[in-house]
Amino acid sequence: MPLSHVQLIGRLLGADPEEAACEFRTDFADGERGESGSLIYVSRDRWITDVDHGGRTVSTPYRSSHSGPDGEWHTEAPLTPSFTSPLALLLPRYAAIHGRVGDDWIVDDADPVGEEDGMLRVRLRHTEQEGYGATALVHPTRFCVTSFRTPAWTARLEHLRFTLDASERALAHSLLDVR
């Protein structure tokens, strides 16, 4: 039996893989390429993002550190991921797709949850621009958003894995206080 919209939203809000690694990218409809890079996530809100143009973010529940292309590090209070970050795709509770105050999107419950390329497909509508829609592809068992498509841009997680390789595990251990 297919998931209802309510069931899907509940699973999106609760998604939190024990660990994950992927590449991310954003492409615009005009052919321009947006942000791209890699993401390593270890449960309990610990992650590392490396952006292709230079820069790294290391975040734990206790602190966040950022380095730019110049290599200089800045440390601050823990980050809440922005709704446009690749982490908001991996952990959809941070995505602006639930119709909450401040969210740009809400699930279009007039369109049933479908299937596309082995993923769950859910249509969304913009909360302020009537007729402006988006499509999210959702992993069928982990409930992270693997692709979010609007008429203007597409954000995606590519080569998504729910296990870390030895080098990723070593990096997570050294930078994220993982035991």
pLDDT in tens, 68-113: 777 788 888 887 887 778 999 999 999 999 999 999 999 999 999 9
In the predicted structure, residue 179 carries a pLDDT above the cut 60: no
Rounded Cα distance between 110 and 119, Å, is 19
Whole-number percent of the chain with pLDDT over 70:
98
Closest CA to 45 of 80, 82, 77: 80
For 91, the domain range is: 5-175
Extract the runs of DSSP E, i.e. beta strands, from 84-178. 105-107, 114-116, 119-126, 133-138, 145-149, 153-161
Average pLDDT over residues 153-172: 96
Kindly report the average pLDDT of the chain as a whole number: 92
Whole-number percent of the chain with pLDDT over 90:
76
Average pLDDT over residues 159-177: 92
In the predicted structure, residue 1 carries a pLDDT above the cut 80: no
Tally the domains of the chain. 1
Residue with tokens 């800045």: 74
Extract the runs of DSSP E, i.e. beta strands, from 46-165. 46-51, 56-59, 64-67, 73-76, 105-107, 114-116, 119-126, 133-138, 145-149, 153-161
What CATH number corresponds to the domain at position 15?
2.50.20.10
Neighbouring residues of 55: CB distance < 8 A, sequence distance ≥ 6 = 66, 67, 68, 69
Rounded Cα distance between 14 and 141, Å, is 12
pLDDT in tens, 17-67: 999 999 999 999 999 999 999 999 998 889 999 999 888 999 988 888 988
Beta bridge partners of 24: 37, 157
